[in-house]
Chain A
Amino acid sequence: MLWQTALQEDTQARYNGMLVSTWDLLNSASARIRSVNAALQAQRQFWLAHSDLLAILAGLDVDFSADLPSTAQDAASAKAGH
């Protein structure tokens, strides 16, 4: 499962044992979400670059301006969403 990382499981076990608090658990969930998001963004960048490479190898005229850095796109989509 993409969203259930080992760290989250460990924090959950510690929460169950009353060794850490709800806030620690939420911080862990937040860190998990941020890292999963970062991983997805990295994959996205990879596939964009990969398709550009294939296009170049195929002799096509590639427009690199379409591959905006993910952070810029994030900022744009965040603005639109909220």
Chain B
Amino acid sequence: MQRRHFFTGAALSTAAVAVASVSRGALAALPEPVIMRGAATAPPLAPTTGRPYRPVVTLNGWTAPWRMKDGVKEFHLVAEPVVREIAPGMRATLWGYNGQSPGPTIEVVEGDRVRVFVTNKLPEHTTIHWHGQRLPNGMDGVGGMTQPQIPVGKTFVYEFVARRPGTFMYHPHADEMTQMAMGMMGLWVTHPKAPHPLIAEVDRDFCFLLNAYDIEPGASTPKVNTMLDFNLWTWNSRAFPGIDSLNVRLGDRVRLRVGNLTMTNHPIHLHGHEFEITGSDGGPWPMAARCPEVTVDVAVGQMRQLEFVADEVGDWALHCHKSHHTMNAMGHTVPTMIGVDHQGLVRKIQKLIPDYMVMGERGMADMGEMEMPLPDNTLPMMTGTGPFGAQEMGGMFTTLKVRRDQAPGDYRDPGWFTHPAGTQAFEWTGALPAESRQSGQAPAPAGPPALNVKKPDSGHKH
């Protein structure tokens, strides 16, 4: 992060004239944009000006610094082409904000007057829509309808009061399909200005957006016309094993803020704990609407706040429960090979194709363990290595790490969990009893299953 530029901008602001609303004076002294160069999870950005609050942690992302100018929080977003590392070994050429996709998280407090400068460095016009916010209609960012689009090279100013506390997102509403398929989006969190009966104080507050890309193996630019058949299912434009773990202290109250800007729903599932949905971008939910869950479906364009007390130590999977969404690039049209007998055929194929190996005949787990040359810039369909072997995952998968000795405020990865003796699945080495099956559940015959098809009677003609 180029913090230096930000402070330079902040110093300049002291000399600027007071502005009550959008004015030329504000434009003349807009803050320097802060550009992020990496995909690591930035530590929470504690506020140094304005009302205090407990900041969020954006998974593999960061919070935009602001400057306080005459009581107005000023941010500067630059819409521009970016190179985003999806996971080590793969970089995507996307569009985003301030050097990354998604853009920086904007954090403000309920009642704050917020001014966002948006500079367009894309090859086409854009706008920003502040999804879910109460604001003047002319600040809603719908290109052509509530404002002219921001032309290439121009800077527009959005200004409104963050009226409602909650979790929101921002994205273009100009050539929206293309620009969102290219990765243009970001999170917005409005913290409550005072203790709120329906908004709990939490120890750790994580947020991420669900997004999806269709990048041809070997290429790096998403196919923007894909509607459903994506091959990269990502959180904050990162895929497993590139998504950082959520590292918490035993007993922490944890909030996850999840927004969905893909084209399909994602059932987000947490192992080992029950959570409640405490709110959405519509606001905090009444207590009567909350019930324990271990999976929550986040529909398209929705946001959900999951809250729980992390009271079980260990490494707990956190993932989308659509199993194709915990895979990286795969061939959705590759035929199933399970049960296909290759015997005698492999040698023949290898005469023609020396590097040929049988895959899929016994299932597809071979893929998780073998390391074979893949197309350039392509993540293996299933990958990752845990302390006990191949994890065989991809896409929307990461880990909640709950540790007794994780210090408050320490977000570093504590490494893999050490299981106390006698608390882990183990191999049975004793004798096995003879199998007994109930009648009617006989093992399948070795040959092809007998089909009791009654053929049409030849004499029965219409």
For the complex, is A81 an interface residue (Cβ under 8 Å from B)?
no
Pick the contact of B378: A8, A17, A22, A23 (CB < 8 A).
A17
> Which residues from chain A contact B370 at a C-beta distance below 8 Å?
16
User: Are A19 and B330 neighbours in the complex by a CB distance under 8 Å?
Assistant: yes
Give 1 or 0 for each of B310-345: 1 = CB within 8 Å of chain A CB.
000000000000000000011101110100000000
Tell me the complex Cα distance, A21–B333, Å: 8
Pick the contact of A20: B334, B337, B352, B381 (CB < 8 A).
B334
> Which residues from chain B contact A18 at a C-beta distance below 8 Å?
330-331, 334, 359-360, 364, 367, 381
User: Are A13 and B373 neighbours in the complex by a CB distance under 8 Å?
Assistant: yes
Pick the contact of A14: B333, B360, B364, B375 (CB < 8 A).
B375
> Which residues from chain B contact A10 at a C-beta distance below 8 Å?
218, 375
Q: Who on chain A is nearest to B381 by CB?
A: A18
Please give the number of chain A residues whose Cβ is less than 8 angstroms from any Cβ of chain B in the complex. 18
User: Are A29 and B353 neighbours in the complex by a CB distance under 8 Å?
Assistant: yes
> Which residues from chain A contact B352 at a C-beta distance below 8 Å?
26, 29, 33
Q: Who on chain A is nearest to B376 by CB?
A: A13
Pick the contact of B217: A14, A23, A29 (CB < 8 A).
A14
> Which residues from chain B contact A17 at a C-beta distance below 8 Å?
217, 329-331, 372, 374-375, 378, 380-381
Tell me the complex Cα distance, A15–B356, Å: 9
Tell me the complex Cα distance, A26–B378, Å: 22
Number of A-B contacts (CB under 8 A): 64
> Which residues from chain B contact A33 at a C-beta distance below 8 Å?
352
User: Are B335 and A21 neighbours in the complex by a CB distance under 8 Å?
Assistant: yes
For the complex, is B355 an interface residue (Cβ under 8 Å from A)?
yes
For the complex, is B45 an interface residue (Cβ under 8 Å from A)?
no
Q: Who on chain B is nearest to A4 by CB?
A: B354
Query: Of residues 10 to 40 in A, which have CB atoms within 8 Å of B's CB atoms?
Result: 10, 12-23, 25-26, 29, 33
> Which residues from chain B contact A22 at a C-beta distance below 8 Å?
337, 349, 356
Tell me the complex Cα distance, A29–B352, Å: 7
CB distance from A19 to the nearest CB of B (A): 4
Given known A25-B353, A26-B349, A26-B352, contact A16–B331 (CB-CB < 8 A): no
Tell me the complex Cα distance, A33–B351, Å: 13
CB distance from A30 to the nearest CB of B (A): 8
Given known A10-B218, A16-B372, A16-B374, contact A25–B367 (CB-CB < 8 A): no
> Which residues from chain B contact A16 at a C-beta distance below 8 Å?
357, 370, 372-374
Given known A19-B330, A26-B349, contact A12–B360 (CB-CB < 8 A): no
> Which residues from chain A contact B367 at a C-beta distance below 8 Å?
18
> Which residues from chain B contact A15 at a C-beta distance below 8 Å?
356, 359
Q: Who on chain B is nearest to A16 by CB?
A: B372
Tell me the complex Cα distance, A14–B331, Å: 9
User: Are A12 and B334 neighbours in the complex by a CB distance under 8 Å?
Assistant: no
Most buried by A among B349, B353, B380: B353
Query: Of residues 271 to 320 in B, which have CB atoms within 8 Å of A's CB atoms?
Result: none
Q: Who on chain A is nearest to B357 by CB?
A: A16
> Which residues from chain B contact A12 at a C-beta distance below 8 Å?
353, 355, 373
CB distance from A24 to the nearest CB of B (A): 8
CB distance from A16 to the nearest CB of B (A): 4
> Which residues from chain A contact B337 at a C-beta distance below 8 Å?
22
Most buried by B among A8, A17, A25: A17
> Which residues from chain B contact A29 at a C-beta distance below 8 Å?
352-353
CB distance from B355 to the nearest CB of A (A): 5
> Which residues from chain A contact B364 at a C-beta distance below 8 Å?
18
Most buried by B among A8, A10, A21: A21
> Which residues from chain A contact B372 at a C-beta distance below 8 Å?
16-17
> Which residues from chain A contact B359 at a C-beta distance below 8 Å?
15, 18
Q: Who on chain B is nearest to A21 by CB?
A: B334
The 24 sampled A-B contact pairs (Cβ below 8 Å) are A10-B218, A12-B373, A14-B217, A14-B374, A15-B356, A16-B357, A16-B370, A16-B372, A16-B374, A17-B217, A17-B329, A17-B374, A18-B360, A18-B381, A19-B330, A19-B331, A19-B381, A20-B331, A21-B331, A21-B335, A22-B337, A22-B356, A26-B349, A29-B352
Q: Which residues of A pack against B, CB within 8 Å? A: 8, 10, 12-23, 25-26, 29, 33
Q: Which 5 A-B pairs have CB atoms at the shortest separation, nearest pair first?
A: A16-B372, A19-B331, A17-B374, A13-B375, A21-B334
